[in-house]
Amino acid sequence: MAKILLATEKPFAPVAVEGIKDVAAKAGYEVVLLEKYTEKQQLLDAVSDVDALIVRSDKIDAEVFDAAAQLKIVVRAGAGYDNIDLTAATAHNVVVMNTPGQNANAVAELVLGLLVFTVRNFYNGKAGTELKGKKIGILAYGNVGRHVAQIAKGFGMDVYAYDAFCPASVIEADGTKAVESQDVLFENCDIVSLHIPATPETKQSINYALVNKMKKGGILINTARKEVINEPELLKLMEERSDLKYITDILPDAAADFEKFEGRYFSTPKKMGAQTAEANINAGIAAANQIVGFLEDGCTKFQVNK
């Protein structure tokens, strides 16, 4: 009987765990749970006899692969797989997949929720502003970016996007205005929402020069990864420009330094973007189905370490 380990430092909603167990049971597989673990050793012990692993942002490095002699597949139940050492996975002959799009709506809803919270002065009772008519710039038009565009249009916002890999024609076909560079996006928009993955090219790419292109009163919102922000440069800019706001779903390394920008900075204490029952069900069940498809039929759709 194949064994699937669901290792989630930040647990799924119980209903999603039940859904994963149902999919596994139908295939005759066993599911074991490791939730809210605090020590890496707990993960190393738990992977020792499993065939498949489902994780979220849990760090899966070479040491984990070394400890998992039977492991054949890891599915990151979510979009970004920067938490998984793909080179080590390939070296251990382990297939890695993600579940693209499954939690995109949840993240996009959080973006608009955080924006309402921000333009209403964090609900402090003072008169704020509205999102209607404001220009929002979406940096990277993937699954989350597209959902943000759709919801922002519902708010009556003027929606722009830049994506280095998605053709302008695809963006425009969606009724979103494509711009020619990220510089132009920052120059033109009142709000910029980040949806780029953390890659060697994007790490620290949101820097002083880029954010300083924003107009007076600009809002930068990050529901992507903290690694894409050049934190020392953003801190310096926020010291110099008292009009800028930074809103994030990923606690910065220098959180204490950002805290001093009262009324201009907000971070969720723990990444909340994908933390809905629906997103957990979608991503978790997709992950379980992908494992069954791979172990039964060798299906490698969504493999990311090809």
Give the total residue count for the chain.
306
Cα 7 from Cα 44, distance rounded (Å): 11
Evaluated on CA atoms 66, 71, 76, 77, the torsion sign reads negative
The C-alpha atoms of residue 127 and residue 102 are separated, in whole angstroms, by 36
| Residue at shortest CB range from ligand 3PG | 78
Q: Which residues lie near ligand 3PG (CB under 6 A)?
A: 10, 56-57, 78-80, 103, 271, 273-275
Smallest gap from residue 103 Cβ to ligand 3PG (A): 5
Q: Are 220 and 246 in contact (CB under 8 A)?
A: yes
- Cβ proximity to ligand 3PG, 13 vs 166, nearer residue: 13
- Between 57 and 248, CB nearer to ligand 3PG: 57
Two structure tokens written together for 284: 């978790």
Whole-number minimum distance, CB 19 to ligand 3PG, in Å?
16
Nearer to ligand 3PG, 2 or 220 (CB): 220
Distances (CA, A) of 62 to 36, 68, 77, 158, 169: 21, 10, 19, 45, 41
Nearest distance in Å: CB 80, ligand 3PG: 3
CB of 128 to ligand 3PG, least distance (A): 28
Alpha carbons 292 and 23: distance in angstroms, whole number? 8
Output 80 or 137, the one with its CB closest to ligand 3PG.
80
Residue 95 C-beta: closest distance to ligand 3PG, Å = 18
Whose CA is closest to 138, among 159, 167, 113? 159
Whose Cβ is closer to ligand 3PG: residue 198's or residue 244's?
198
Least distance in angstroms from the C-beta of 188 to ligand 3PG? 26
Question: Residues 149, 84, 253, CA angle at the centre, nearest 5°?
Answer: 70
Nearer CB in complex with ligand 3PG: 19/78: 78
